[in-house]
Amino acid sequence: MAGLPIRIFRVAERSMEPAIKEGSYVLVNCWHPSLSPDDVVVVRGIDGTILIKRIKNVGKNGLFLLGDNRSKSVDSRRFGLLDSKMVIGKVVAVI
């Protein structure tokens, strides 16, 4: 991805609670060399929204993403696999 290698995003949803609370800020490495299960990533959703999710599975056809707070999460259970090209970067710290 072109641009700055590190970006800051504000978490605007409760889908990753209790690990990452709504209103927190996350530091994101946008030059991610690889994606693995359990990585927390910031992605551009199918409708263009910015989401933060945990990778549960990396497959040939895409990423299966889940929020830690299943009852508050819109994730791959709803929208299916997401193309890895939609990943903005990996969360490296909560600030």
Q: What is the pLDDT of residues 53-84, one digit of tens each?
A: 999 999 999 999 999 999 999 999 999 999 99
Q: What is the pTM of this model?
A: 0.91
Q: What is the pLDDT of residues 78-95, one digit of tens each?
A: 999 999 999 999 999 999
Q: How far is CA 4 from the centre of its chain?
A: 18
Q: In 10 A of CB 44, how many CB atoms?
A: 15
Please give the class, per CATH, of domain 6-94: mainly beta
Predicted local confidence at residue 2, as pLDDT: 58
Domain boundaries, the chain: 6-94
Tell me if 80 sits within 8 A of 66, measured CB to CB: no
